[in-house]
């Protein structure tokens, strides 16, 4: 059934990358149900027909490969031509690359960073002139619990999310006085294709198998059994963007919150442990 909104002109404009599946798709559904206007992007716009059908007057499907800078600029230009503004940008497009660092090729590593880091940066930079002119906006960066702690087999993916978190934390400070907010979303395991179709694997090296094979088995066993509900995650993200002062970081799911808390507590303990070694290194 087509969703309606009483005043389309007053409805916020969302721009979401990677809406063909997963959390991006769930978020797009909730945004449409909320009555907002939406630029939904994917490399193949045929995957977005179902979204457009929900509200043809408020939803536009735009082809976008975030690793193509020209396509990024064209997609943002289309959003402005169609709706005149961008209120919420969600950098969701990305994928997981798994394997030991030595197992990963130069091409695989660069593609991972091109998509997860530089793709998000390019879309952000393309949208910022409009948000600056508006003196308003919210940039949602889809990070991960892997943006706080790295796990066996996920070093490259964690590297991209650590990078995104650092860039986004700095970006938030740069934009605060302009009325533009940044929300770094840190999901734990959610029931999407992330552990299935979306993941890519390195060619294994035998010496790493004792460490990585159990981790791979555990990772694959999660598929279709993840505790996180994508629809509830989407609602939490929307709620965060509507706050007067949105949170800089938003962990999603009990798994993420428990693991992040445990990790940060361990880091504080580590600082205490090495303080006697590190503190005296200042000039006397």
Can 208 be counted among the known catalytic residues? no
Q: For residue 107, give Cα distances in angstroms to 97, 178, 195.
A: 12, 38, 22
Active-site choice (20, 144, 155, 161): 161
Question: Is 157 one of the catalytic residues?
Answer: yes
Per-residue model confidence (pLDDT) at position 48? 96
Return the axis-axis angle of helices 22-33 and 230-242, rounded to nearest 10°. Answer: 60
Taking the C-alpha atoms of 231, 37, 61 and 120 in order, what is their torsion angle to the nearest 10 degrees? -70
- Give the phi and the psi of residue 203 in degrees, each rounded to 5: -70, 125
Which entry of 143, 144, 155, 168 is annotated as an active-site residue? 143
**pLDDT tens digit string along 11-23?**
999 999 999 989 9
H or E segment and range at residue 141: strand 137-142
Mean pLDDT along residues 45-56: 96
pLDDT in tens, 255-277: 999 999 999 999 999 999 999 99
Question: What is the distance between the alpha carbons of residues 54 and 38, in angstroms, rounded to a whole number?
Answer: 11
What's the average model confidence in pLDDT over 58-79? 98
For the chain, give the percent of residues with pLDDT over 70. Answer: 93
Which residues does 79 contact at the CB level (< 8 Å), separation at least 6? Answer: 13, 15, 39, 60, 62, 86
Q: Are 200 and 99 in contact (CB under 8 A)?
A: no
Q: What token pair was written down for 160?
A: 């991209």
Ramachandran angles phi, psi of 59, nearest 5°: -125, 130
Give pLDDT, residue 222.
75
Q: What is the per-residue DSSP string for 106-128?
A: HHHHHHHHIIIIIIHHHHHHHHH
Q: Which range has the worst mean pLDDT, 76-80, 194-198, 276-280?
A: 194-198
Rounded to the nearest integer, the mean pLDDT of the chain is 92
pLDDT of residue 40: 98
pLDDT of residue 3: 42
Lowest mean per-residue pLDDT among 1-10, 36-45, 103-112, 179-188: 1-10
217-257: pLDDT as tens digits: 877 777 766 767 899 999 999 999 999 999 999 999 999 99
- When pLDDT is averaged across residues 32-37 and rounded to a whole number, the result is 96
The predicted-structure confidence for 127-186, as pLDDT tens digits, reads as follows 999 999 999 999 999 999 999 999 999 999 999 999 999 999 999 999 999 999 999 999
Which sign does the torsion angle of CA 16, 134, 79, 239 carry? positive
- What's the pLDDT at 229? 87
Catalytic residue at 95? no
| Over residues 38-61, mean pLDDT | 96
Q: Give the C-alpha distances (Å, rounded to integers) separating 235 from 34, 40, 61, 67.
A: 10, 17, 22, 28
CB atoms near residue 30 (< 10 Å): 19
Catalytic residue among 20, 95, 144, 157: 157
For each of the domains in the chain, give its residue range(s) and CATH number, in order of start.
8-281 (3.40.50.720)
Does the pLDDT of residue 199 top 50, yes or no? yes
């Amino acid at each position: 059934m087509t969703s309606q909104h009483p005043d389309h002109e007053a409805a916020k404009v969302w721009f979401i990358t990677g809406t063909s599946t997963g959390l991006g798709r769930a978020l797009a559904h909730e945004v449409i149900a909320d009555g907002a206007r939406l630029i939904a992007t994917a490399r193949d716009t045929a995957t977005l027909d179902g979204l457009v059908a929900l509200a043809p007057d408020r939803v536009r499907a735009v082809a976008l490969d975030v690793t193509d800078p020209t396509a990024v600029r064209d997609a943002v230009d289309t959003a402005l031509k169609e709706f005149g503004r961008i209120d919420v940008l969600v950098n969701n497009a990305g994928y997981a690359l798994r394997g030991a660092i030595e197992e990963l090729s130069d091409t695989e590593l660069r593609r991972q960073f091109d998509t997860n880091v530089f793709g998000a940066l390019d879309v952000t930079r393309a949208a910022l002139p409009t948000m600056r002119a508006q003196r308003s906006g919210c940039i949602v960066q889809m990070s991960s619990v892997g943006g706080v702690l790295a796990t066996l087999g996920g070093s490259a993916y964690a590297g991209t999310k650590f990078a995104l978190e650092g860039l986004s934390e700095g970006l938030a400070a740069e934009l605060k006085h302009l009325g533009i907010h940044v929300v770094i979303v840190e999901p734990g395991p959610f029931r999407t294709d992330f552990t299935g179709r979306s993941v890519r694997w390195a060619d294994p090296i035998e010496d790493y198998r004792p460490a990585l094979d159990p981790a791979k088995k555990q990772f694959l066993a999660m598929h279709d059994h993840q505790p996180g509900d994508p629809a509830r995650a989407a609602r939490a993200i929307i709620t965060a963007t509507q706050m007067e002062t949105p949170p800089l970081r938003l962990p999603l799911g009990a798994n993420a919150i428990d693991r992040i808390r445990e990790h940060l507590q361990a880091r504080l303990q580590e600082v205490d442990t090495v303080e006697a070694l590190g503190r005296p290194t200042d000039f006397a």
